[in-house]
Amino acid sequence: MTAAPAFRMPDPLLQVRGLTHRYGPHIGCRDVSFDLYPGEVLGIVGESGSGKTTLLKCVSGQMEPTEGSVEYETRDAGLIDLFRMSEARRRLLMRTDWGIVYQNPRDGLRMRVSAGANVGERLMAIGDRHYGHIRSEAVDWLERVEMDIGRIDDMPHTFSGGMQQRLQIARNLVTKPRLVFMDEPTSGLDVSVQARLLDLVRGLVRTLGIACVIVTHDLGVVRLLSHRLMVMKGGNVVESGLTDQVLDDPQHPYTQLLVSSILPV
Amino acid sequence: MTQFDDTVMLHAQGLSKHFVLHNQGGVKIDVFEKVEFTARQGECVILAGPSGSGKSTLLRSLYANYKPQAGSIYVRHGEAWVDLCAARPFQIMEVRRDTLGYVSQFLRVIPRVATLDLVSEPLIGQGLTEEAARKRAETILARLRIPEALWSLPPSTFSGGEQQRVNIAMTFVQDYPILLLDEPTASLDKDNRETVIALINEAKGRGAAIIGIFHDAEVRAAVGTRSYDVTEARQAA
């Protein structure tokens, strides 16, 4: 058995070590470490104020943590600490290799430009200048997120919440990112709209092999989408592991409470 | 570490499991302690013991769905050995995808996905073309007598027996080297029970190691190579 080859592990895409963020005397999140592998979907759950959004903002480069490191496997130069690279490089990374889907589509969309332009803009940001190509990519992505192509020239504020959220997803995925961060992507939507969006996200993540970090308070969402789960309470990660293991055999008192609090339908 | 011979597919040692119910006064429920057993190529090990003795808990632990407090579960994964109790989630996902199949007592699937897609998806994940995967899925569904009219529907509205057969199809569509079966024949009629017995014996024939719970004495006699009494481990606890 000692002669058996070791299990082959790919290189992590994201490596987070000892991440702590304080808001003055208050703790946002404390001493969080994890690796995220290509194609892996990590769910972060916890009640409001548990630190999950703070953690997401720090690992997605939107906010510099007080302590700790967030390293990303860049295509050309290997693991680089997000907060040690130049601002320009970090912004390029966020525009190209990453996507961020916000809870409120208004935070992730440009409300005063058309749906097509919202998608095309990301392509232009990575240097695409061919109008015909940009237009056809935009059409393709709007179709993939099941939007009505007839509305490609309409402004996002004329769309329903579910459509805005789908547009936000198309805008993020058009550059074929390797990593997408999602903050409560379905919580502002009606249940039936939520279900369709979840099916869509699940299909896209699976077929494109995108790694994903999803923050939510909805255990149903993580059961459906995530491979792995981190449970947060009071800024600390109290439990983590394989999603079905954490949900079916929770070890920590808080996770047990969380799982037992789901109302049966 | 122990040296395993070429026929060993799964080896559990020192495996202990209890539950602590923190929100019910911290009640501790001991299930088993220091379980040790081996499953080899081409055999079907039957987990024996009365209801409530921890058979399902052991089986779920072997799938890493439950987390044992101590011990190791060595699984032959391709050319390598993986200890499911120490492996990272990413590794466990890979072991489940390629090596370890599990038929649970109750079907729990992604809602709103058509039966045929549920059965063919894991094959596509393994690199088969959509068409080849679909063909294999159709074959196993037909063999388990799921009417073709139901293939395009999600199984949530199916009868108990139909759901159980979809559950079996989702696992047996693939030739897993190790199979964990939790009462796969519980709600099946005679013909379908015969089909499942045949599927299990075919899997044994191609060298799979099978660990299962079967209430039906007839099924036990038809598929079992030997049994492992879970209460032995309980008495030791």
DSSP A16-32: EEEEEEEETTEEEEEEE
Instruction: Give CA angle at A28 (A24, A29), nearest 5°.
Output: 130
Q: What is the mean pLDDT of chain B?
A: 93
Alpha helices of B51-177 — where are they, by DSSP H?
A: 55-62, 89-98, 115-125, 130-143, 160-172
Residue A2 with chain B: CB contacts under 8 Å: 1, 3
Please indicate, yes or no, if residue B143 is contained in any of the structural domains. Answer: no
Q: Which of A2, A7, A262 to mutate to test the interface with B (most CBs of B within 10 A)?
A: A7
Quote the pLDDT of residue B234: 59
| Selection from A104-113, A209-218, B191-200, B226-235 with the highest mean pLDDT | B191-200
- Tell me how far CA of residue A210 lies from CA of A13, A33, A146, B96, in angstroms: 11, 21, 19, 20
Q: Is the pLDDT of residue A3 over 50?
A: no
Quote the pLDDT of residue A76: 86
Distance from CA of B167 to the nearest CA of A (A): 17
**What are the residues facing B226 on neighbouring strands?**
B45
With CB atoms and an 8 Å threshold, state whether A202 touches B110.
yes
Q: Is the pLDDT of residue B237 over 70?
A: no
If you average pLDDT over residues B67-83, what whole number do you get? 96
Domain hosting A134: range is: 105-176
Interface of B with A in 9-28 (CB under 8 A): 19-23
Please indicate, yes or no, if residue B136 is contained in any of the structural domains. Answer: no
Quote the pLDDT of residue B181: 98
* DSSP-derived secondary structure letter, A185: T
Q: Is the pLDDT of residue B235 over 80?
A: no
Domain hosting B66: range is: 8-107+176-236
State what percent of residues in chain A have pLDDT above 70.
96
Q: Is the pLDDT of residue A5 over 60?
A: no
CATH code (residue B28): 3.40.50.300
Q: How far apart are CA B134 and CA B130, in angstroms?
A: 6
Please indicate, yes or no, if residue B112 is contained in any of the structural domains. Answer: no
Q: How far apart are CA A140 and CA B74, in angstroms?
A: 46
Considering only CB atoms, which residues of chain A are within 8 Å of chain B?
1-2, 4-9, 37, 40, 195, 199, 202, 206, 224, 227-228, 241-245, 248-249, 251-253, 256-257, 260
With CB atoms and an 8 Å threshold, state whether B66 touches A199.
no
Q: How far is CA A201 from the centre of its chain?
A: 11
pLDDT tens digits, one per residue of B140-191: 999 999 999 999 999 999 999 999 999 999 999 999 999 999 999 998 999 9
If you average pLDDT over residues A95-123, what whole number do you get? 92
Q: How far apart are CA B44 and CA B46, in angstroms?
A: 6
If you average pLDDT over residues A170-196, what whole number do you get? 89
Identify the weakest region by mean pLDDT among A13-17, A91-95, B182-186: A91-95
Quote the pLDDT of residue B236: 52
- Nearest residue on chain B to A36, judged by CA atoms? B90
Please indicate, yes or no, if residue A123 is contained in any of the structural domains. Answer: yes
Confidence of residue A211 (pLDDT cuts 50, 70, 90): very high
Q: How far apart are CA B107 and CA B103, in angstroms?
A: 8
Counting the structural domains of chain A, the total is 1
Counting the structural domains of chain B, the total is 1
With CB atoms and an 8 Å threshold, state whether B21 touches A256.
yes
Residue A9 with chain B: CB contacts under 8 Å: 88, 90-91
Q: Is the pLDDT of residue B127 over 90?
A: no
Confidence of residue A7 (pLDDT cuts 50, 70, 90): low
With CB atoms and an 8 Å threshold, state whether B92 touches A249.
no
Please indicate, yes or no, if residue B203 is contained in any of the structural domains. Answer: yes
- List, in sequence order, every beta strand (DSSP E) within chain A: 14-23, 26-36, 41-45, 67-74, 78-81, 98-101, 179-183, 211-216, 228-233, 236-242
Please indicate, yes or no, if residue A170 is contained in any of the structural domains. Answer: yes
**Neighbouring C-beta atoms of residue B9, cutoff 10 Å:** 26
pLDDT tens digits, one per residue of A38-80: 999 999 999 889 999 999 999 999 999 999 999 999 888 889 9
Please indicate, yes or no, if residue B125 is contained in any of the structural domains. Answer: no
If you average pLDDT over residues A170-194, what whole number do you get? 89
- Nearest residue on chain B to A2, judged by CA atoms? B1
Q: How far is CA A254 from the centre of its chain?
A: 24
| Residue, of A127 and B203, whose pLDDT is higher | B203
Confidence of residue B233 (pLDDT cuts 50, 70, 90): low
Quote the pLDDT of residue B205: 98
**Neighbouring C-beta atoms of residue A173, cutoff 10 Å:** 22
Q: Is the pLDDT of residue A2 over 60?
A: no
Place of tokens 């070590």: A17
Q: Is the pLDDT of residue A29 over 70?
A: yes
If you average pLDDT over residues A180-193, what whole number do you get? 87
Q: Which of B1, B9, B90 to mutate to test the interface with A (most CBs of A within 10 A)?
A: B90
Please indicate, yes or no, if residue B96 is contained in any of the structural domains. Answer: yes
Interface of B with A in 164-223 (CB under 8 A): none
Q: How far is CA B204 from the centre of its chain?
A: 14
